[in-house]
């Protein structure tokens, strides 16, 4: 009788540790994972590359949850067996071994249950998309434009380290090598999941190259990060577009192209204007400009939907609003401070050389913690 009640208690603990709702959800994933694994060997799937890819994609999307859950179940089973040995044996050596296994199982259960809670958080549907990044000089004139070039270099180097492809869409360069504005595409798996936290106002404190007195100036640069829109998501009526052509120009207004290959597209209903003059081909510039326009309109649509759902709730990491001051780069102190999570690092040069992972990982962790807190409260 005593043994039966102990087993019942262990079974209750198994579901209580994760929560009944979470347990049920993972069981569904586990069952689906087994079904998909079997399907891969079916002739109708194995002989059809498109279908095989589709099944494999779904399998991969739930694999980490399922394998973590199976490790969790194994740890719970180990805990159960250790408790039974401790309650039934009188052998001191066996008890010592069982206690060690019990301690290890409990630690694993704690770690894996927390990991499962995070894995079950709703995923940002944009995370796997390519991104379009727009950097614009703000307060500070030429110094702001020069820092825009520093940020572009930082993001380019970071992308290279992660195997992402960077393609400039439009650049308005100054005579000193800065950018009044530059927009570029970053292509690669999970690009948006890494770059989405960069939206906002970036503040720089340093002695400008043009400063003869050696005084530290403060200037700002604005970054906007847009998930690339897919054609099926957003339909644009051609009659809503005004398309103008003009000659491409380089720094200082010098013409770099004698033909009118540059494109300016105005979306009449919203007043959104996009320019592209990076390519010599008018067709390529138009194609790039349309991509940016669709991505901007999609972001506006998604932001509106999110604000309607979340009302005035703001996460700890920030809203992604381009007007929000998110970070300060202090050159004299070699310091970077991210104001959203209170992170300060004294390795500015290293970060500006594209080693952004420590910052981005901290932002992701803070974002997940906030979402986990919200899910527990709701």
Domains and their CATH numbers in the chain: 2-119 (1.20.58), 131-310+320-372 (3.30.70.1660)
Which residues, other chains included, contact 23 with Cβ-Cβ below 8 Å and sequence gap of 6+?
A: 14, 15
- pLDDT given for residue 104 in this prediction: 94
| Measured distance CA(15)–CA(217) in Å, rounded | 58
- This prediction has a pTM of 0.64
pLDDT at 105: 92
For residue 373, pLDDT beyond 90: no
Residue 297 token pair: 């309109």
Residue 323 pLDDT level (bands cut at 50, 70, 90):
low
Place of tokens 């990076």: 278
Q: Is 165 helix (H, G, I), strand (E, B) or coil?
A: strand
C-alpha count within 13 angstroms, C-beta hemisphere, residue 360: 19
> Which residue in 295, 289, 185, 183 sits closest to 229, CA to CA?
295
Round the average pLDDT of the chain to a whole number and report it: 81
Better-scored residue on pLDDT, 99 or 138: 99
The number of helices, as runs of H, and strands, as runs of E, in the chain is: 10, 11
pLDDT at 213 over 70: yes
Instruction: Say which residue the tokens 């399998």 belong to.
Output: 59
């Amino acid at each position: 009788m005593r043994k039966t009640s102990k087993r019942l208690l262990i079974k209750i603990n198994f579901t209580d540790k994760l929560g009944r709702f979470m347990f049920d959800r993972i069981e569904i994933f586990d069952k689906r994972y087994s079904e998909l694994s079997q399907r891969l060997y079916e002739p109708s799937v194995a002989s059809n590359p498109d279908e095989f890819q589709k099944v494999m994609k779904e399998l991969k999307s739930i694999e980490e949850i399922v394998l973590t859950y199976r490790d969790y179940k194994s740890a719970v089973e180990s805990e159960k067996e250790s408790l039974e040995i401790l309650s039934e044996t009188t052998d001191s050596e066996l008890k010592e071994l069982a206690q060690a296994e019990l301690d290890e199982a409990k630690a694993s259960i704690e770690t894996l249950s927390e990991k499962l809670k995070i894995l079950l958080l709703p995923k940002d549907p944009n995370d796997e998309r390519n991104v379009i990044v727009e950097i614009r000089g703000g307060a500070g004139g030429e110094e702001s434009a020069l820092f825009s070039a520093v940020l572009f270099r930082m993001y380019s180097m970071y992308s290279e380290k992660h195997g992402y492809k960077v393609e400039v869409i439009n650049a308005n360069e100054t005579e000193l090598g800065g950018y009044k504005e530059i927009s570029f595409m970053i292509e690669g798996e999970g690009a948006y999941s890494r770059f989405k936290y960069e939206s906002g106002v970036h503040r720089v404190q340093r002695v400008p190259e043009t400063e003869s007195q050696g005084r530290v100036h403060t200037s700002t640069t604005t970054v906007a990060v847009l998930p690339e829109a897919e054609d099926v998501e957003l339909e644009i009526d051609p009659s809503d577009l005004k398309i103008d052509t003009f000659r491409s120009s380089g720094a200082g207004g010098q013409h770099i192209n004698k033909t009118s290959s540059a494109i300016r597209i105005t979306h009449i209903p919203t007043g959104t204007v996009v320019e592209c003059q990076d390519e010599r081909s008018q067709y390529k510039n138009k194609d790039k400009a349309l991509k940016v326009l669709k991505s901007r309109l999609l972001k506006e649509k998604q932001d509106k939907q999110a604000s309607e759902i979340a009302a005035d709730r703001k996460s700890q990491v920030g809203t992604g609003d381009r007007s929000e001051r998110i970070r300060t780069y202090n050159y004299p102190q070699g310091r970077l401070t991210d104001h959203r999570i209170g992170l300060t690092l004294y390795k500015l040069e290293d970060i500006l050389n594209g080693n952004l992972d420590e910052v981005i990982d901290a932002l992701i962790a803070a974002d997940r913690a906030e979402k986990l807190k919200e899910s527990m409260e709701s």
